[in-house]
Amino acid sequence: MTSHGRDSGDSTMSSSEENQSATGISTLLTGRASRLRLVTCVQANDFGTCPRVLCEQQAVLPVGVSDVPGDATVKLFCPRCNDIYTPKASRHQHVDGVYFGTTFPHMLFAVHPEFRPTQQVTHYEPKIYGFKLHATAYEEMKKRRDVERDIETAVASMRTARKY
């Protein structure tokens, strides 16, 4: 037996031990030294960059989508577009999101607003030959296609009715 009351051959943790461990780690992230260490990792792009083209390689931060251990793996939060993404790196796909918690990036920017990106999000504007599409353009095109389809169906049914 080890000093912790467990057999040295037992390498698995009970669920209560995992919950305590997750709570302990997420509590550690609220400490100044841990936050600054993670900021260094973020600035070095250790967690990757936002996959959205218009975010221009913005560094992402780890975030959990649930505070329940084992519920979901860690996700990546982009502070520029305020969206979350599934990490591409396989090393992140087995890390429980509860270790970072649902509040880590938001708390970091509340405590250190200087780390939040200042650039505004650029939104993609769909264009055809350089002309912006009106917001209702797709709806109007769909209505026209539906009317044309209805006319074709009516004509086809009239032709088949004449044959009989």
Residues 94 and 146 in one domain: no
Q: How confident is the model at residue 128 (pLDDT cuts 50, 70, 90)?
A: confident
- For residue 74, pLDDT over 80 is answered with yes
Predicted pLDDT at 4: 39
The pLDDT, as a whole number, for residue 98 is 86
Inform me whether the pLDDT recorded for 126 exceeds 70: yes
Is the model's pLDDT at 49 over the cut of 60?
yes
For residues 49 and 77, give the distance between their C-alpha atoms in angstroms, rounded to a whole number.
9
Same domain, 107 and 132: no
Whether the CB-CB separation of 62 and 56 falls below 8 Å is answered with no
Q: What backbone phi and psi angles, to 5 degrees, belong to 78?
A: -100, 120
Question: Is residue 103 domain-shared with residue 131, that is, in the same domain?
Answer: no
Question: Are 94 and 65 within one domain?
Answer: yes
List, for residues 75-96, the tens digit of each pLDDT value: 999 999 999 999 888 887 788 8
Q: Please, what is the end-to-end C-alpha distance for the chain in angstroms?
A: 91
- How many domains is the chain built from? 2
Question: Distance of CA 4 to CAs 1, 8, 22, Å?
Answer: 8, 10, 18
How high is the mean pLDDT of the chain?
A: 78
Q: What is the pLDDT of residues 1-38, one digit of tens each?
A: 333 333 444 444 445 544 444 444 455 555 677 777 87
Average pLDDT value for residue range 113-141: 83
Do residues 60 and 49 touch, judged by C-beta distance below 8 A? yes
Q: What confidence tier does 50 reach under pLDDT thresholds 50, 70, 90? A: very high
Say yes or no: 150 and 69 in one domain. no
Mean pLDDT value across residues 41-49: 84
Residue 146 belongs to domain spanning: 127-163
Same domain, 56 and 99: yes
Q: Are residues 108 and 138 in the same domain?
A: no
Domain with 79 in it: what CATH number? Answer: 2.20.25.20
